[in-house]
């Protein structure tokens, strides 16, 4: 979990402290952190001032004092890593700050420097770090310097116009000391209240014990050696039923277990004593039934974060586990039903495609038959008979007889007509062949998917996307749907071909229906494939159809929910279940009604084939059993 800015800053300050200071009381730890932060800040400010003085060729006495202060601040930071008390370093810090400010005001002889707000650091730091008595000493020095010493040294008189400003600055320094004194007094009062609160908490301990006794959960407290300190009534009763004897204080509760079971429990306790929190589900055999207990073993820490014992919390989850088993059985049944429904839906679409192709085959075959019947073959026969009759006088017939003279032009026109009819017949035969090939492709593709059901294969995803689109190819062309493919390079994916095809088929089918319901002329369906974060692959099926209202998005994958008039409400729900079986996720986004929708399928890409899984005889591709059978 990421920490906030304050926690991060405090952690950096603690890096300057010794181990003893980090383990000190909250009050001393607060002083140490303030001391580290002030030293660090003053070191930065002093360095900047020294740089400015060197650039502006300021007084060497001021520069020398600045260097001394910088060395002092850095030394205080270094000593904090070895010191067990903040008081000596606090005296050093307050002395350096007070001396540095007095020297600066006297050397620079500037009213702005003498009355600068930084003077307030003296009372604030000295009162908080050293207490009100020493704080009064340092505050008085700063106050006398501003109100008396500085005017006499800089002006030689107490009657200059700036004297009033100096007096007010001196009074404010003393006021800051007074405010710090009040703060310390209030803090001491708060500490007294804290102590009284602790006494109240001790008195409440008995009430807490009573509350633990009243719960049905098991609560057992053990010391660092695994001996029982206390246990509530529920734990004692279960121990009596399980072990046949009472649970006594001071004895190890697991001494009567078999050797292997005792070693297991001692392993749990050893992890907890080392500071780890252990969670286990245990099956406890009783005479009447077997209980399933959710056990949590937590370390109990004392002073210095040392583990002084462990606490066992147990909850009877037998009823919940039985309900989960029934739910799992229902889920498996639902998956079987979903698989059958998916197969039936795919088969229906296959039959639709084959049926449309058969319509084209029937039309093309009828046209070819009609054109074959309409060929001008009889004209060729009559011409041949005519030539046969005049075979003896063929030259005279072709040059003198009016019918013979028209015969070459007739043969030329007949050849042109037969050629045109042959081309039209060939076009229809090509259409017929294309329809037959399409039917063969659809059937072969469905046979391949049916054979691969229940097996995970290492497949190129674009190929599977194209298979899902090919099942709808005739619909897209007939319904005027423009198809776009945006495939980025992605590695092959270990996946159950049938499950993924079922999801893709359902998503493409939903997108097609949404486009048909929209009635818009520019129907567009887009398939995108690209890598996603954390080693996953992202498939998007996007359309510009009717879209979805914001209130329907959370319910979209619920069983029985549908936005189609003739929908059954299980397609997207079963697709989401299939995506979960593939260790992926299925989601949907939509800008609103009429704005289209995008379904997003994310799948993991880092899975490896199981040991001993059989593979297909394809280069670079393999097959393994699916985690969930078909």
User: pLDDT for 44-100, tens place per residue?
Assistant: 888 888 888 888 777 787 788 888 888 888 888 888 888 888 888 889 888 888 888
Report pLDDT digits (tens) over 161-205. Answer: 788 888 888 898 889 899 888 888 887 787 778 778 877 877 776
Tally of CA atoms within 13 A in the half-sphere of 56 that contains its CB = 10
Average pLDDT over residues 106-117: 81
CA proximity to 39, closest of 88, 98, 94? 94
For residue 203, tell me if it sits in a domain.
no
Whether 342 and 480 share a structural domain: no
Q: What is the DSSP string of 1-66?
A: -PPPHHHHHHHHHHTTS-HHHHTS-HHHHHHHHHHHHHHHHHHHHHHHHHHHHHHHT--HHHHHHH
In a domain, 404, yes or no: no
524-532 vs 482-487, strand pairing mode: parallel
CA-closest candidate to residue 143, choices 179, 104, 105, 169: 169
Q: How far apart are CA 542 and CA 524, in angstroms?
A: 8
What pLDDT is recorded for position 470? 73
Q: Is residue 46 part of a domain?
A: yes
Per-residue pLDDT, averaged over 425-442, amounts to 67
One domain, residues 553 and 586: yes
Rounded to the nearest 10°, the torsion over CA 443, 446, 451, 452 is 150
Non-local CB neighbours of 327 within 8 Å, separated by 6+ positions? none
174 and 36 inside one domain: yes
Highest mean pLDDT among 81-90, 222-231, 366-375, 381-390: 81-90
End-to-end CA distance of the chain: 40
**160: in domain:** yes
In a domain, 330, yes or no: yes
Q: Looking at the structure, tell me whether residues 508 and 422 fall in a common domain.
A: no
Q: Which of 210-214, 400-404, 482-486, 606-610 has the lowest mean pLDDT?
A: 606-610
| Structure confidence at residue 610 (pLDDT) | 35
Query: Which residues form the domain of 574?
Result: 454-625
Q: Give pLDDT tens digits for 513-543.
A: 888 888 888 999 999 999 988 788 999 999 9
Pick the last residue of a domain from 299, 316, 333.
316
259 and 353 part of one domain: no
Residue 357 has pLDDT above 90, yes or no: no
- Is the domain of 137 the same as that of 227? no
User: pLDDT digits over 196-244, tens only?
Assistant: 887 787 777 667 667 777 777 888 888 888 888 888 888 778 777 777 7
Q: Is the same domain home to 554 and 609?
A: yes
Average pLDDT, the chain: 78
Give residue 348's pLDDT.
Answer: 62
Contact between 374 and 421 under an 8 Å Cβ cutoff? The reply is yes
228 plus 268 within the same structural domain: yes
**Stretch 121-144: mean pLDDT:** 87
Question: Which residue did the predictor score with more confidence, 360 or 460?
Answer: 460
Domain assignment present for 202: no
Q: Is the pLDDT of residue 604 over 70?
A: yes
What would the mean pLDDT of 111-129 be, rounded to a whole number?
Answer: 84
- Statement to judge: residues 61 and 182 lie in one domain: yes
Regarding whether 227 and 358 lie in a shared domain, the answer is no
pLDDT at 446 over 70: no
Averaged over 283-308, what is the pLDDT? 79
CB 219 within 8 A of CB 313: yes
Measure the CA–CA gap between 464 and 476, rounded to whole angstroms.
Answer: 18
Q: Are 223 and 347 contained in the same domain?
A: no
In the three-class reduction of DSSP (H, G, I as helix; E, B as strand; rest coil), residue 588 is classed as: strand
Structural domain total, the chain:
4
Mean pLDDT confidence for 139-161: 83
Whether 184 and 274 share a structural domain: no
397 belongs to a structural domain: no
Instruction: Identify the three-state secondary structure at position 162.
Output: coil
- The answer as to whether 18 is a domain residue is yes
Say whether 84 sits in a helix, a strand or coil: coil
Q: Are 541 and 465 in contact (CB under 8 A)?
A: no
Determine contact, residues 493/461, Cβ cutoff 8 Å.
yes
Q: Which of 66-75, 146-155, 591-600 has the highest mean pLDDT?
A: 591-600
């Amino acid at each position: 979990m990421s920490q906030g800015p304050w926690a991060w800053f405090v952690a950096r300050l603690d890096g300057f402290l010794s181990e003893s200071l980090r383990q000190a009381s909250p009050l001393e730890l607060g002083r140490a952190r303030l001391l580290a932060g002030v030293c660090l800040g003053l070191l930065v400010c002093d360095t900047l001032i020294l740089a400015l003085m060197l650039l502006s060729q300021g007084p060497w006495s001021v520069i020398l004092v600045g260097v001394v202060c910088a060395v002092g601040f850095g030394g205080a930071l270094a000593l904090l890593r070895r010191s067990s008390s903040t008081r000596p370093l606090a005296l050093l810090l307050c002395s350096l700050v007070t001396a540095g400010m007095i020297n600066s005001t006297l050397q620079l002889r500037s009213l702005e420097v003498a009355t600068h707000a930084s003077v307030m650091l003296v009372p604030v730091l000295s009162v908080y770090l050293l207490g009100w008595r020493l704080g009064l000493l340092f505050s008085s020095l700063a106050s006398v310097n501003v109100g008396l010493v500085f005017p006499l040294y800089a002006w030689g008189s107490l009657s200059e116009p700036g004297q009033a400003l100096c007096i007010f600055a001196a009074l404010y320094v003393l006021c800051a000391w007074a405010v710090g004194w009040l703060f310390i007094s209030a803090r001491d009062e708060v500490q007294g209240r804290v102590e009284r609160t602790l006494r109240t908490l001790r008195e409440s301990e008995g009430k807490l014990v009573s509350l633990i006794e009243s719960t049905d959960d098991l609560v057992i407290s053990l010391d660092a050696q695994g001996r029982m300190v206390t246990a509530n009534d529920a734990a004692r009763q279960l121990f009596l039923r399980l072990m046949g004897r009472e649970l006594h204080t001071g004895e190890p509760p697991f001494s009567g277990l078999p050797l292997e079971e005792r070693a297991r429990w001692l392993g749990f306790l050893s992890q907890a004593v080392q500071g780890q929190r252990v969670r286990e589900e245990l099956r406890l055999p009783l005479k009447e039934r077997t209980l399933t207990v959710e056990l949590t073993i937590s370390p109990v820490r004392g002073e210095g974060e040392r583990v002084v014992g462990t606490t066992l919390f147990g909850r009877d989850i037998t009823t919940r586990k039985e309900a989960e088993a029934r739910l799992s059985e229902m889920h498996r049944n639902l998956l079987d039903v979903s698989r059958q429904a998916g197969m039936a839906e795919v088969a229906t679409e296959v039959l639709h495609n084959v049926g449309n192709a058969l319509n084209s085959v029937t039309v093309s075959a009828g046209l070819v038959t009609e054109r074959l019947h309409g060929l001008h073959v009889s004209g060729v026969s009559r011409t041949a008979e005519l030539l046969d009759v005049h075979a003896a006088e063929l030259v005279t017939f072709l040059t003198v007889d009016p019918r013979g003279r028209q015969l070459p032009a007739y043969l030329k026109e007949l050849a042109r007509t037969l050629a045109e009819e042959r081309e039209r017949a060939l076009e229809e035969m090509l259409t017929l062949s294309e329809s037959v090939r399409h039917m063969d492709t659809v059937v072969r593709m469905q046979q391949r998917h049916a054979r691969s059901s229940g097996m995970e294969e290492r497949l190129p995803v674009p190929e599977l996307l194209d298979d899902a689109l090919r099942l709808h190819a005739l619909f897209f062309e007939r319904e005027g749907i423009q198809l776009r493919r945006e495939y980025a390079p992605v590695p092959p994916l270990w996946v159950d071909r049938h499950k993924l095809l079922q999801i893709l088929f359902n998503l493409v089918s939903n997108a097609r229906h949404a486009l048909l319901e929209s009635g818009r002329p520019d129907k567009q369906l887009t398939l995108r494939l690209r890598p996603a974060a954390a080693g996953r692959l992202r498939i998007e099926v996007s359309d510009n159809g009717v879209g979805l209202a914001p209130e329907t998005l959370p319910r979209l994958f619920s069983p029985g929910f549908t936005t189609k008039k003739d929908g059954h409400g299980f397609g997207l729900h079963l697709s989401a279940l299939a995506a979960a079986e593939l260790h992926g996720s299925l989601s949907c986004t939509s800008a609103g009604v009429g704005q289209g929708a995008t379904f997003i399928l994310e799948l993991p890409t880092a899975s490896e084939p199981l040991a001993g899984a059989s593979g297909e005889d394809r280069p670079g591709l393999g097959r393994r059993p699916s985690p969930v059978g078909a």
